[in-house]
Amino acid sequence: MRNLIAKLALAAAVLGGGISAAAAETANIWVRADGSNFMPRIVDAYNKAHTNQIKLDIIPNAEIIPKYGAAAAGGTAPDALSLDLIYTPSFAAAGQLEDITDWAKSLPYFSSLSPAHVKTGTYKDHIYGLPFSADASVLIWNKKLFKQAGLDPEKGPTNWAEIAADAEKVNALGGNVKGFYFSGNCGGCNIFTFTPLIWASGGDILSEDGSKATLDSPQLRGAIDLYRSMVKKDLVPAGAQTDTGANFFAAFAAGNIGISPSGAFAIGALNTQYPDIDYGVTFLPGKDSGWSSFAGGDNFVVTKGTTKLAVVKEFLDFAYSLEGQTILAKYGSLPVRGDIAKEALKDLDPRYQIAAEAMAKGRTPYSVVFNDLINSANGPWTQMINEVFFGDDVDGAIANAQETMQSIIDQAPQK
């Protein structure tokens, strides 16, 4: 009898272990290389606290979009993906993402999630992507150079006239010091940092639903005039004209630029890599007042037909917890839950609070053909900005970009 009981107990233990092991599932998630600092850490924290597990693959930035598109079409896609939010409408329109509308709206903090992310995650009134990581465009200035130029080092520009005036005073220091920097041949950089100047002044480059190009506006022309005037006055280094983004951050980090539009990512990068640079962070202003920001980052999307939806939901719930948001904030992403953002950032550099406020009220253009319109090196946005900032035919460049953008939009599936 004792032997029988022992055998039954052993069998129960084995079966129990087998059942537990079978219940534990592993979901595969991809993230672009931009998330290689925070994503492994939040995955590790989740895996340590949960029976279900996440297998993370980090994909080079330039490869993740075509690689995911091919994998989704071929049935080999990961269960979920941290996807640059601007591409969410495109993959939703292609039918490659899981409709997560009911789940999303059931989240008790749904209304506190980044509105810009949720907007780009929505296609034909259904939600296919939820906010995961965030960045925001801001304006940064070199306090040391401001002080040397006789400016208040604690006060950043609050309108376009102040940007131009402050840049000119810093530029007057001479030597290799320049007043202002922007990457003049980078479509992505300028949609991130130049467009908010237009938004803050009441203009836009696309209609709310992405169906109309609205480039030719007084606000766009005014912002162009601001940049052109600084270029003409030699306040901008000559190399800006051909910069496709390689010096988007590096130029300011060199310590000889007075003012530069940038992103929240610069706070962590400057603090860790360039601790000797004393800098300020403020909002990207409108012509006379107000401010705006581009809300960037990633949406979390689920591959259509995945069998690991429960694991994916559990992981995202963890990422949305205070612990998860704090991990993300500590390692390079702004919180995407507005209701706990201050708590998640409380132990970090206070300049992150400015960036978080910018992100919470930030905007993101909506388009199912965003890459063709904006990011492509041969696209109408990139072609236009270089000409209007540095060329001679502003009117022609705007007109051509308007026509080309509208043609691309008209050939695409709509929201």
Distance CA 253, CA 270 (A): 7
pLDDT class of 21 with cuts at 50, 70, 90: very low
pLDDT of 40-54, one tens digit each?
A: 999 999 999 999 999
Asked if residue 5 has pLDDT above 80, the reply is no
Q: Where are the beta strands (DSSP E) in 65-183?
A: 80-84, 122-123, 126-127, 129-142, 178-180
b (16+ CB within 10 A) / e for 334-372? bbbbbebbeebbeebeebbbbbbbbbbbbbbbbbbbbbb
Contacts of 307 (CB under 8 A, 6+ apart): none
What is the pLDDT averaged over residues 304-308? 97
Which domains occur in the chain, in start order? 26-135+296-360 (3.40.190.10), 136-294+366-411 (3.40.190.10)
Contacts of 261 (CB under 8 A, 6+ apart): 137, 138, 139, 140, 182, 192, 193, 194, 284
pLDDT class of 162 with cuts at 50, 70, 90: very high
pLDDT class of 412 with cuts at 50, 70, 90: confident
Contact 309, 328 (CB under 8 A): no
Choice between 341 and 16, residue whose per-residue pLDDT is larger = 341
Contacts of 317 (CB under 8 A, 6+ apart): none
Contact 354, 263 (CB under 8 A): no
Contacts of 11 (CB under 8 A, 6+ apart): none
State the pLDDT at residue 22: 52
pLDDT class of 414 with cuts at 50, 70, 90: low
pTM (two decimals): 0.89
What is the pLDDT averaged over residues 311-321? 98
pLDDT of 100-148, one tens digit each?
A: 999 999 999 999 999 999 999 999 999 999 999 999 999 999 999 999 9
Q: Which DSSP category does 294 fall into?
A: B
pLDDT class of 23 with cuts at 50, 70, 90: confident
pLDDT class of 20 with cuts at 50, 70, 90: very low
Asked if residue 260 has pLDDT above 90, the reply is yes
Asked if residue 408 has pLDDT above 90, the reply is yes
Instruction: Name residue 336's amino acid.
Output: V
